Amino acid sequence: MENVKGDSDKQEIPAVSGENAAGGDGVFGYGHVGVHGMSNSFLGVHGESQENAGVLGESERFAGVIGKGKSGAGVYGESESDAGVKGVSLFLGVHGTSRENAGVLGESERFVGVIGKGKSGAGVYGESESEAGVKGVSLSGYAGEFVGNVRITGNLLTEGDITLLNADCAEDFDIAGVENVEPGMVMVLGEEGALHQSQQAYDKRVAGVLSGAGDYKAGIVLDKQQAKGNRKPVALLGKVCCKVDASYAPIEVGDLLTTSPTSGHAMKAADPLRAFGAVIGKALRPLREGQGLIPILIALQ
């Protein structure tokens, strides 16, 4: 079969248009360039299908479909039930280049406009010399949504608020005897710089509470060093669940807490003179007897 080449530069009609009522291909081309359509003002190639792809391009060595637009979309795809444009390739699934508008434009009323999947590279890759590489705009929902971790190698700039769902502000510290500690324990400074479980009452070396116990998780973790395995986040500000011992005195809501003789546990600061400089925070729930885990408001003082 000979290739089909269309060139339309004087009329606003498609350079190549094919229709097949029997359900087969509207236009089929085979060769170095299967179908090549060129237009200065309208559509280079226009394909419509009731059941399958409007335009399907397959290539073993290069791009299946190439679209270039000087003032409009390079490739425009529209679908009522599936992807507007779908590209499958060992290299680039869909490559769109535009000097003035969007390289790839996807619109959908029920699903996503553009889907990108990559097994070894980026699912969607955007690069720009003057604007955003990838830009998302939404009038009612999220302009961008990520399922999984997000890594940023540059600066993060926001003109709005930052909302964090978790509770405390923590910082990673070196922990001595890391195998014996767990979230909720009260930690104190050691002479070698690492933190230890608290062991005595009214200890002025108190540093904070190990983050992550109960319903409260760290909202921000500072000084994260992935290479070191003996580090743990210690809550320095905000709400955190803390191990407490009420056997020394019943704990009521609002009581100031300090270190206790029970390893890793806080207690009510009943002696104001000894408590100065050794207060961990303020109790947000009561515990009138025994040991337990309660939420506290970290307020080192």
Q: Of the candidates 126, 121, 117, 54, which has an alpha carbon nearest to the alpha carbon of residue 85?
A: 54
Number of helices (H), then strands (E), in the chain: 1, 18
The answer to whether the CB of 171 falls within 8 A of the CB of 236 is: yes
Specify the range with the lowest mean pLDDT, choosing from 44-58, 156-170, 191-205, 208-222. Answer: 44-58
**pLDDT score, position 162:** 82
* Cα–Cα distance for residue pair 287/289, rounded to 1 Å: 6
**pLDDT score, position 259:** 97
Torsional sign, CA 278, 281, 287, 291: negative
- Does position 156 have pLDDT exceeding 70, yes or no? yes
Q: What confidence tens digit (pLDDT) does each residue in 210-269 have?
A: 999 998 888 898 988 877 778 999 999 999 999 999 999 999 999 999 999 999 999 999
Give the count of domains, the chain.
1
On whether residue 188 sits in a domain, the answer given is: yes
Q: Which tokens sit at 211? A: 């983050």
Question: In whole numbers, what is the pLDDT of the chain averaged over residues?
Answer: 80
**pLDDT score, position 1:** 45
* Cα–Cα distance for residue pair 143/103, rounded to 1 Å: 18
**pLDDT score, position 198:** 96
Instruction: Give 242's DSSP letter.
Output: E
Q: What confidence tens digit (pLDDT) does each residue in 281-295 have?
A: 999 999 999 999 999
- Does position 93 have pLDDT exceeding 70, yes or no? no
Q: What is the mean pLDDT of residues 176-185?
A: 89
* Cα–Cα distance for residue pair 34/28, rounded to 1 Å: 7
* Cα–Cα distance for residue pair 220/168, rounded to 1 Å: 7
Q: What is the mean pLDDT of residues 133-139?
A: 78
**pLDDT score, position 225:** 84
Amino acid at 19: E
Residue 246 domain boundaries: 168-298
On whether residue 153 sits in a domain, the answer given is: no
* Cα–Cα distance for residue pair 51/53, rounded to 1 Å: 7
Q: Residue 235: enclosing H or E segment and its boundaries?
A: strand 231-245
Q: What is the mean pLDDT of residues 171-186?
A: 91
On whether residue 216 sits in a domain, the answer given is: yes
Q: What is the mean pLDDT of residues 197-207?
A: 96
255: domain CATH number is 2.40.300.10
Torsional sign, CA 55, 59, 63, 68: negative
On whether residue 96 sits in a domain, the answer given is: no
On whether residue 252 sits in a domain, the answer given is: yes
On whether residue 31 sits in a domain, the answer given is: no
Question: Residue 22: pLDDT band by 50, 70, 90 thresholds?
Answer: low
Q: In sequence order, what DSSP letters do the residues of 123-169 get, joined into one string?
A: SS----SSS-SS----SSS-S---SS----SS----SS----SS-EE
Tell me the chain's radius of gyration from C-alpha atoms. 31
On whether residue 132 sits in a domain, the answer given is: no
Residue linked to tokens 């104190």: 188
Residue linked to tokens 């890594």: 151
Q: What is the mean pLDDT of residues 190-213?
A: 94
| pTM score over 0.85 | no
Q: Most confidently modeled of 24-28, 32-36, 246-250?
A: 246-250
Question: Residue 278: pLDDT band by 50, 70, 90 thresholds?
Answer: very high
- Does position 96 have pLDDT exceeding 70, yes or no? no
On whether residue 195 sits in a domain, the answer given is: yes
